[in-house]
Amino acid sequence: MKKIISMISILANCALNVIAQNLVIERQGHFSAAISVSAFATAQTAESFKQPYPLGSKLSPNPNFTGDVWLSAVTKEKELNVPMANVTFAPGCRNSWHSHTGGQILIATAGIGYYQERGKTARRLFPGDIVEIAPGVEHWHGAAPDSWFAHIAISCNPNINKPTWLQPVTDEEYATAVNTSTSVYDNQALSAREQAIVAIASYTGKGDLEHLPLALTEGLKSGMTVNEIKEILIQAYAYCGFPRSLRAIQTFMKVLDERKARDINDTMGKEAISAEQEDNKYDRGAAILQVLSGVNSAHPKSGYGAFAPAIDQFLKEHLFADIFERGLLSYRERELATVSFLAGIGGVEPMAAGHISICLHLGITKEQLTALLNIVEINLGKQSSEPLRKVLKSVSK
């Protein structure tokens, strides 16, 4: 056991400290900054957590961590002189403040985590992120409160590298780090309800069912009714397909069942309106799109509408007539959801440009769209937010 613990200190230096699993911090205006462990995250096990490297052995207890942590050596050959280990953190866990005489490199591989140096703002870590830690720099790292996290820890200059363990990261320090991390921005340009819509839609577009339950719960907490949230998930199929929409709806059903089992009765709210107008549905859809965009796009003579008239017909009749006429959500809210769907899907910048233009035409400001992309970045990472930031910059010139 002593040999294993020594290996942790030298190779991974990733011991975890005490943290209450149910610590909840006031949201302070940040949608994703609430320190709470989602039911979905806690239901997940170390074995079911998807990551590219072996889980390894569970290591506890240890004076530098309390909670669940796993370690697996990545490099086997001592002659390579590059000790590397895969470290897996349970949700909400972190190690103590510490430093390395030889420095350290971290490569985030799965889940969401945090890294912080003494006196600096914490950094939120997503898969693919790399952290270079200079010798002697005091720091800590660990999992986000609502996500498992894994990283590769590389011990630099192993012949002279020794860890110096300091005091534990307190609950207050951890909460502050989560609330003020460099991936968290001032999102108060959007209301709590709008922030919830963005998070629900972006997770749905991405197909991230691991974190969607927390977003759905936050939506209910913001005052949204069950039917209003269902409407977001129904609209999703028009942008990211039935599979993503149905899986999100199934996830919401599970969330509601779990809340009901805890005697939480959520408000169903008004039902959506079924369109019963007898006039031409295509014309109604075209009229709604004109209100949204300010452009008369009936029977286009060029572009995809001319190349594939059927898709233009389906777009006008079904999306903008059938769906947008259902009520419950305003045009503004539906477009915030749409941009969020597209951010989650990725690779659809031309469509995003059109819908960002619609948002601006509806009076949604550049600052509010920036807040939307901030939330996307917090939840899905820069690979989802950066392409649309470029689109927003171009469209809003």
Q: Which has more confidence, 20 or 74?
A: 74
Note the pLDDT of residue 276: 66
Please tell me which of 147-156, 285-294, 307-316 the model is most confident about, judged by mean pLDDT: 147-156
- Asked if residue 61 has a cis previous peptide bond (ω within 30° of 0), the answer is yes
Cα–Cα distance measured from residue 379 to residue 161, given in angstroms and rounded to the nearest whole number: 35
- What's the CA dihedral at 366, 128, 251, 337 to 10 degrees? 10
Question: Do residues 134 and 104 lie in contact, with contact meaning Cβ atoms separated by under 8 Å?
Answer: no
Poorest-pLDDT segment among 35-44, 146-155, 349-358: 35-44
Write down the pLDDT at residue 301: 66
Quick: pLDDT tens for 214-241. Answer: 899 989 999 999 999 999 999 999 999 9
Q: How confident is the model at residue 23 (pLDDT cuts 50, 70, 90)?
A: very low
Kindly give the residue spans of alpha helices, DSSP state H, lying in the chain.
Answer: 2-7, 39-43, 171-179, 192-206, 212-221, 226-261, 281-293, 303-307, 309-314, 331-345, 349-361, 366-380, 382-395
Return the structure tokens found at 384: 């989802």
Please, which residues bridge with residue 124 across strands?
A: 114
Contact 144, 179 (CB under 8 A): no
Report d(CA 116, CA 119) in Å as an integer: 8
pLDDT > 50? residue 278? yes
Residue 44 pLDDT grade (very low, low, confident, very high; cuts 50, 70, 90):
low
- The per-residue pLDDT for range 3-18, each reduced to its tens digit, is 333 443 433 343 333 2
Give the model's pLDDT for residue 396: 81
pLDDT at 22: 31
pLDDT per residue as tens digits for the range 230-273: 999 999 999 999 999 999 999 999 999 999 999 999 999 999 88
Structure tokens at 31: 């949608």
Instruction: Supply the pTM of this predicted model.
Output: 0.64
What confidence category does residue 382 fall into, taking pLDDT thresholds of 50, 70 and 90? confident
* β-strands 139-143, 149-155 pairing: unpaired
DSSP 66-87: -S-EEEEES---GGG---EEEE
By the 8 A CB rule, do 339 and 359 touch?
Answer: yes
At residue 321, what is the residue type? Answer: A
Q: Which two tokens stand for residue 28?
A: 């302070």
Q: Which two tokens stand for residue 176?
A: 């502050």
Sign of the torsion formed by the C-alpha atoms of 385, 119, 144 and 30:
negative
More confident residue, 306 or 104: 104
Helix residue spans in 315-365 (DSSP H):
331-345, 349-361
User: Lowest mean pLDDT: which of 6-20, 293-307, 368-382?
Assistant: 6-20
Residue 88: pLDDT over 90? yes
Cβ atoms of residues 59 and 211 within 8 Å: no
Helix (H) or strand (E) holding 137: none
